[in-house]
Structures are given as C-alpha cells and as structure tokens.
Amino acid sequence: MMLRKLFSRGGKKEAKVMPDPRINDDQVKPEGGADAGLLTDAERSQGSEANTEEVTPQGLFARLKQGLTKTRTGFIDRIGQILAGRGIDEDLFDELEEILIQADVGVATTLELIGRIRQRVETERITDSNAIQGLLKAEIKDLLSRDHQPLALPDHTPAAIMVVGVNGVGKTTTIGKLAYRIKQNHAKVVLGAADTFRAAAVDQLRVWANRVGADLIAHQEGADPSAVAFDSVAAAKARSADVLIIDTAGRLHTKTNLMAELGKVYRVTTRELGRDLDEVLLVVDATTGQNALSQAKLFSESVPLTGIVLTKLDGTAKGGIILALANELRLPVKLIGVGEQMRDLQDFDPISFTEALFN
Amino acid sequence: MPFANLSSRLQETFRKLRARGKLTDKDVDTALREVRLALLEADVNYLVVKDFIAKVKERAVGHQVLASLSPGQQVIKIVNEELTSLMGGTQSKISLASKPPTIIMMVGLQGSGKTTTSGKLALHFKGKGHRPLLAAADIYRPAAVKQLIVVGEQVNVPVFSMGETNPVDIAKAAVAHAKTHGNDIVIIDTAGRLHIDTELMHELEEIKRSVNPHEILLIVDSMTGQEAVSVAVSFDQQLGIDGVILTKLDGDARGGAALSVKAVTGKPIKFAAMSEKMDGLEVFHPDRMASRILGMGDVLSLIEKAEATFDEQKAKELTEKMRRDAFTLEDFREQLAQIKKMGPLDQLLGMIPGMGKLGQMRDLAVDDSHLKRIEAIISSMTVEERRNPDIIGGSRKRRIAAGSGTRVQEVNRLLKQFNQTRQMMKQFSEMERRGRKGKGGFNLFR
Ligand SMILES: Nc1nc2c(ncn2[C@@H]2O[C@H](COP(=O)(O)OP(=O)(O)OP(=O)(O)O)[C@@H](O)[C@H]2O)c(=O)[nH]1
Ligand SMILES: Nc1nc2c(ncn2[C@@H]2O[C@H](COP(=O)(O)OP(=O)(O)OP(=O)(O)O)[C@@H](O)[C@H]2O)c(=O)[nH]1
Ligand SMILES: [Mg+2]
Ligand SMILES: [Mg+2]
C-alpha cells in the first residue's frame, strides 16, 4: 500500500510549462553537401511566454517542463503558424503530415491520424482551419490514454521489476532514478546487476546503488546473468526488500542468442520468485526513430513487456514515437526520463503530456 | 517489421513499373511517392527526403527513363546513384598528423557509443602499427573512467585517466603524456551530452581549443530518428566536426540518419560500427549504406564482389553443370570455397536482394565456423557419395558424422541445403534461358 502511493504523484498536473532559453538548435543552417537553406522551414519559434514556475518539492516538474517545452515549441507552435488564417486545403494536411513525421511519429501512424482528421473535417463539415488543432489534440490524447496505466506496484513484497532494451538507451540510469524515487519513501530496494557483459556495467550500477542507498547484488563480469537474477531474488526475499529491480545488458533485438539469454533471465527470475514479475519495462530512447517499433515487437517476443520508459526527453527529440508505439503495439508508456540526475524521472501522464504539447 | 514493408513495397512498385514497360510522368510520381515513404520509414529526415525526391524526379522524368528497355531498373539505378552520391561517393580515412601525436576527439549524444568506439578505433590503429593512447575525459557518467579502462584492457591499449578532475586538464595532460611516452595517436573519450546543453558544449570547445585535435568525430547511433539532423548540425556548428562514425549497425535499423547527417553537414561518414565487442569497426561504404537504406540489399556490390573474386573458369564450369543439372556435393563445396573468398558470410547475406524482404537474417545463423563444418562433412564422404548424394543412407550418415566430428543432424541439414541449392540453381538456369529469349539480363525485381 505504501508502495502504491509511491507511484501516484497526483495533484501536479496543472503545473505550467517553463520556457527553455536554450532552444535554438534548429536555427542553424547546414553547410555544404546539400542545398543551403534545407532547414529553413524547420526553424522553430523560441519558447515564448514567460510562465511562472510551480516548484515542486524536488523540482521534478521543472525538469519535465523543460523537456516538454521543447516538444511543444517544436510541434504545436508550428501547427499554430500553419493554421493561422487559412482555409482547409490539401497543403494544410500535407504540412500537418510533415510535422508529425518530423516528430518521429512514423508514416503509418501519421497517415492514420491525418486520415481520421480528414474524415472528421468532412463528416462534421468543419471549415475553420483553427479547429484542426483541437481535433489533432483530441486524437493524440485519445491514442495516448487508450491503454494508459501508471506504474503501480503490488502489495506483496518484493515487488519485482526487470528493465530491458537495446544498447545505451538509459536502462541503468533509469534504474538508479527509480530506486531513488522508491527510497524517498523509505522502502528497501535491492538492485540486481544482471548486465555482466558491458565494460564496467556493474560498477556503474554500484555507483547508483551507493548514491541512493540500495543494496546491490552482483557477480563477476562475464558471469551468467541468470545466476545473478537468481541470487538477486533470493537476496531480496532474505532481506525482506520491498522492491527488486534487475538491470540487464543492452542488446539488439535482432540477436537471437542474446534475446534467448534474456528469456532465460526472465524465466529464472519468475521461477525463483514463485510468480510473475510485476513489471518488465522496455526502455526506449526518445531520440530513436522507427526502429523503436521493431525493438518493442521483438523484445515482447522474448519477455512479456508491461510498459515502456521513454528516456532522454530533455533533448530536442519530440518523442513522437510514443504515438506509434501506442497506436501499433498498444504498449503504455509508464515513465519518462528527462535528464541524467536521479530526480529526472517522471510518471508518464497522457493528459498533461498532450496538454503541454498544445498549451 | 518496417523493414519488410519497405523492401517489399519498393519491389512491388518496381515490378509494377516493369509490367507497364513504359514510364509516364505519373508513373514516376507514383514510384517516387513510394520511395519517399520508404525513406521516411528508414528515418531519413523529411527535408532531406524532399530534396532527394526532387533531384531524382528531375533525372527520372523524360526521355532518360522512357528510352530505357527496363524502366524499373532504370529508376532504381537513379535512386541508388543519387543516394550513394548523397552519402558521400567515396570512403574517407582518418588523416594522421604530420607531426605526431594525432589527436582524435570523440563526441556525441549520451549512449551513442563513444567509449566503445574509442576502444575499437584504438584497436584499429594498433593493428596498423601505431601506438595509441586512450584518454578518459568523461567525468560525469557513473563509472565512465572505469569503463574506458576495461575497454583499454580488452584491446591492450594504455588508458590515461586523472579521476574526476576538469576534462580540459585531462585532455591536455593526456597529450603531454603521449608525447613523453611515444604514443603517436591520442583518442579522447568525452562524456555524452545534449547538443543544446550550452555549458557542456562549451566544455568541448575548451578541450578543442586547448589540444587542437586533428579529428573531431561525431558518434551517431544508427537508430536515431528525425532529430539526427539538428544534433549533427549543432555539433558541427559549435565544434566543426571532421567526420562521423555510425554505430549499432549490427541491428535492423535502416540507418536513414546516416543520410540525413551527411546531407546537412557535408561531413564524411568514416566508419561503421557493428558490434558490442571490440572487433566490429568497418570502413564505411556509401554504396552499401545506400542500398541498406533502400532495403533492397547491396545488389551492386554483390555483383562487383562476385566478379572480382569468382574464378571465371570455375564459374563457367558451374554454370555448365547447372544447365546439365549435374551439380554435385563436390561442386557445392567448391562453391562454398568461392563464397568464402568473398568475405564474411553474414555480410554477404545482407547484400543479397530479398533478404530484407525475408526479414529473417537473424534466424539464419550462418557463420564461418558453420562453413568449416560443412567442409569437414563433405571431406568425410567418399567420392561416390559426393557425386551421388542420393545413396547416402542412415549408416553412411553415421560414418560421415563420426569422421567429420559432427552429428547426424548436421549431415542431414547439409544434404537438405544441398538439395535446396540444386533446386534453386535449376530455377536460376531456367530464368536465365527465358531471359535470353526476352530482354536479356538478370531481372532483380521480378
Ligand atoms: N539527457 C539524458 N541522458 C540520459 C537519460 N537517461 C540516461 N541518460 C544517459 O544515457 C547514457 C546511457 O545510459 P545508461 O543508463 O548507461 O544506458 P543503458 O541502457 O544502461 O546502456 P547499456 O547498459 O550500455 O545498454 C548515459 O550517459 C546516461 O547518463 C535521460 O533521460 N536524459
Ligand atoms: N550492438 C552494438 N552495440 C554497441 C555498438 N557500439 C556501442 N554499443 C553499445 O552501446 C552502449 C553504449 O555504448 P558506450 O560506448 O557506453 O556509449 P557512450 O557514447 O560512451 O555513452 P555515454 O558515455 O554514456 O554518453 C553499450 O552497451 C555498448 O556496448 C555497436 O556498434 N553495436
Ligand atoms: Mg546499462
Ligand atoms: Mg562513454
């Protein structure tokens, strides 16, 4: 019950978006190699309104807002620009299409979204181009809300979480942040260092464990990751831990042997637990393009994914891949990463996410 | 998988074009719309795509294509040529300083592969007789220094580290260290950072100013989406990069980011990284990458490679046998030996058209050790068995397996593969016969 509270951070949704003065990445012009001015219509307006900031105890929201502001300015301001004072014509749809594509939403999902709006424009006899924004907003909100589920941990202990994903997306860092969040509520956390492959992966997790005050279960580099998982479960039980989080090595989803290894780690963990894992989270880097779909598909063939953690949203990547993942795979995004520090982890909230996009 | 869609859709489009025989303006538009979608699915930046499509259209519409006997091939040729030229035309190397040490700085977003690639690069130079030094200038990521030290141990290259002091000081001290210790190359591993992080970007500028690197390499994850463009432009504008290394190409990402980055910065892609281990650093081939992005397999370089390596006389004999349907296990072994000369098998498979469509490369698990076992099995057969595999029954299989140190299942699998190959060859030679009568040439898009 205590844990359940941990993961619901209500009451902060109305936080306002803070402008980020650093957004100027697209204002640079390419040189050589290609047509000059290639990027001109990618120029975005800077974060404009100087909204007051509602500071939360940990300043978590400030960081989220920084991340979202970029998404918002890149996305919605441009829609606003496009929509300002014109009728609904083909060019308008083409441009909306381009904006979604540029946000990494992907061809299929973009065409679907635009298609739905086209249809509504027709059936509802919409002639005002300004209404389009509302329609798009509603569609995106619906899509993201459809399967939304916050990260909720059970009453039984230890709650067990496994974190998987391709190389370098932010698994280990996410685990550090999550452990920090759980520790804030004085729960006992055990981290299992089942990445025995990558150079100094164990040391990296150890730094995080020390930083947040979690126990670390680790073997030698090169050891069998399943054995680490096994020992981690045993330790979590023996030490009456509230939460166990298992880190796994980054692996490309196309490598059958590595995916089989992951399946084994999962099976050994559940067997030793005597039940299913509570969460199997796929970490996806927001900078990733369409390959994220392939990642999610193939990872879910090896382990039963319960949700997605979208990291690096503090960059300029729009995070549009969320829409494609929700649309095509119906995998809910549960957490978002908005920085490299331990506080930079947030629950994914479709409403405020969409609102922030459209504010 | 987006992969399969892309490849099959393109092939479908070109099949349609071919079926029509002649190209109208509208045909070109239809085809290019498919190409556009394919490129977008491959994560090529949409503005780069726009530009690219315009160029291709200019070339494709009109008599050039209309005059061709094989419009589908003509269009793919143009698409491929334009793509290759956009990717950089030729491959480039890392330029070494006339007065050593050559200083190389590795920069990029978080998790793109800088540290791992630093190790690979060190190994690459070591193999060429250099004495590289790795410098640990990432003081932020937990255990980053330790990671580089482990990587250094793996490739047996010294690592210069100073704990978590100022990265600029570390870089300077590393260069000084190299000079006094006879290291002719210094590879500086820097922390991952966002291109919009002014403070950390400034730190890189400081490092640059103080050690004057000969090469600043931007490390780009091949799975990157549309933002690859702003990342690359940002790093280039603030630092002046000299080249790009594309990582994680061992997965199924189409790698459209490669095209985007090249198009907007004009800087060459110097290496392709395709492994978590220290071996997977390869020279970048624009033509192969172009075909990968298009998803049709590297048709051209397969043909080229085959031409360069295949013993012409043997090839002729094989063709003759194919025609007479007298292909034996001995020929099969001969063929395998020829293929082996062409390079690592998994790479070759990636070049074969239609592999993208199958989307099953990951299941094939064919590697060079597998080839050696096949050779061992065939060597354990009698001449009679090789010429006439149909006589191989259970007891012969057991003998062959024992003789070659393999298992009966493997012998079975080989025989099955052989039969499939024989079957395929029959089809090929029939296609060829038909082709002769018709337009001639081997149609890749049938
Ligand atoms: N800007 C930013 N960087 C992040 C975020 N999450 C992780 N990182 C950084 O991304 C890099 C890779 O993170 P890791 O946690 O090591 O990623 P991983 O998935 O465990 O990597 P492997 O175990 O090597 O596959 C590190 O430099 C992290 O600091 C985020 O939300 N924002
Ligand atoms: N499959 C594959 N994995 C790679 C490749 N290059 C790097 N990796 C993996 O990607 C992850 C990140 O690599 P690092 O070298 O730590 O990346 P980095 O850029 O130094 O990361 P930061 O220092 O945190 O910014 C690790 O798990 C590497 O093993 C590659 O070519 N193929
Ligand atoms: Mg990790
Ligand atoms: Mg690093």
**pLDDT 10s digits, A307-349:** 999 999 998 887 888 899 999 899 999 999 999 999 999 999 8
B300-436 CATH fold? 434 Repressor (Amino-terminal Domain) (1.10.260)
Does residue B239 carry a pLDDT above 60?
yes
How far apart are alpha carbons A70 and A356 in whole angstroms? 10
pLDDT(B301) > 60: no
Distance from Cα B257 to the centre of ligand 2, integer Å? 17
Residue of A27, A109, A167, A293 best to disrupt the B interface, most CBs of B under 10 A: A167
| pLDDT value of position B429 | 58
Structure confidence by residue, pLDDT tens digits, B157-183: 999 999 989 999 999 999 999 999 999
Q: How far apart are the first and last CA of chain B?
A: 22
- d(C-alpha B369, C-alpha B376), whole Å: 11
The per-residue pLDDT for B195 is 96
pLDDT above 90: residue B205: yes
- Select from B142, B248, B363 the Cβ nearest to the Cβ of A204: B142
* Pick from A81-85, A172-176, B227-231, B442-446: least confident: B442-446
Cα–Cα distance between A159 and A209 in angstroms, integer? 17
Angle between helices B198-211 and B167-181 (to 10 degrees): 20
Average model confidence (pLDDT) across chain B: 79
Separation of CA A312 and ligand 1 centre (Å): 8
pLDDT in tens, B7-29: 455 556 655 655 455 566 776 77
pTM recorded for the entire structure: 0.75
Which pLDDT value is given to residue B404?
A: 87
- Mean pLDDT of all residues in B302-309: 42
* Ligand 1 pocket member B196 (CB < 6 A): no
Ligand 1: which atom is nearest the Cα of residue A248? 23
Q: What's the CATH superfamily of A1-9+40-359? A: P-loop containing nucleotide triphosphate hydrolases (3.40.50.300)
- Residue B426 pLDDT class (50, 70, 90 cuts): low
| Residue A167, CB-side half-sphere exposure with 13 Å CA sphere | 28
Q: Which fold has domain B6-86?
A: Four Helix Bundle (Hemerythrin (Met), subunit A) (1.20.120)
Strands A189-194 and A215-217: parallel
Contacts of B146 in chain A (CB under 8 A): 199-200, 203-204
More confident residue, A171 or B306: A171
The CA A250 to ligand 2 mean position distance, Å, reads: 9
User: Cα–Cα distance between A323 and A329 in angstroms, integer?
Assistant: 10
A243 touches chain B (CB under 8 A): no
CA distances from A246 to A228, A231, A270, B115, B384 (A): 9, 11, 12, 24, 57
Q: Which residues, listed in sequence order, are joined to residue B105 by a DSSP beta bridge?
A: B188, B216
Tell me the average pLDDT across B213-227.
Answer: 97
ipTM greater than cut 0.90: no
Q: What parts of chain A have a pLDDT lower than 50?
A: 1-72
Whether omega for the bond prior to residue B268 falls within 30 degrees of 0, making it cis, is no
> Mean pLDDT over residues B329-343, rounded?
67
If one looks up domain B102-296 in CATH, what number appears? 3.40.50.300
Length of chain A in terms of residues written: 359
Give the pLDDT score at B319. 63
pLDDT, residue B322, reads: 61
Measured torsion, CA atoms of residues A30, A31, A34, A37, in degrees rounded to the nearest 10: 50
Greater pLDDT, B374 or B121: B121
Q: Higher-confidence residue: A350 or B312?
A: A350
Partners of residue A104 in chain B, C-beta under 8 Å: 43, 225-227
B382-391, pLDDT tens digit by residue? Answer: 888 888 888 8
Domain ranges of chain B: 6-86, 102-296, 300-436
Name which residue leads in pLDDT, B81 or B317. Answer: B81
Residue B200 one-letter amino acid = L
Q: Is A193 helix (H, G, I), strand (E, B) or coil?
A: strand
Top residue of A202, A210, A291 to mutate, by most chain B CBs within 10 Å, is A291
pLDDT of residue B90: 61
A175 CA: nearest ligand 1 atom: 15
Please say if the pLDDT value at position B245 is more than 90.
yes
pLDDT band at B131 (very low <50, low <70, confident <90, very high): very high
- Diameter over CA atoms, chain B: 75
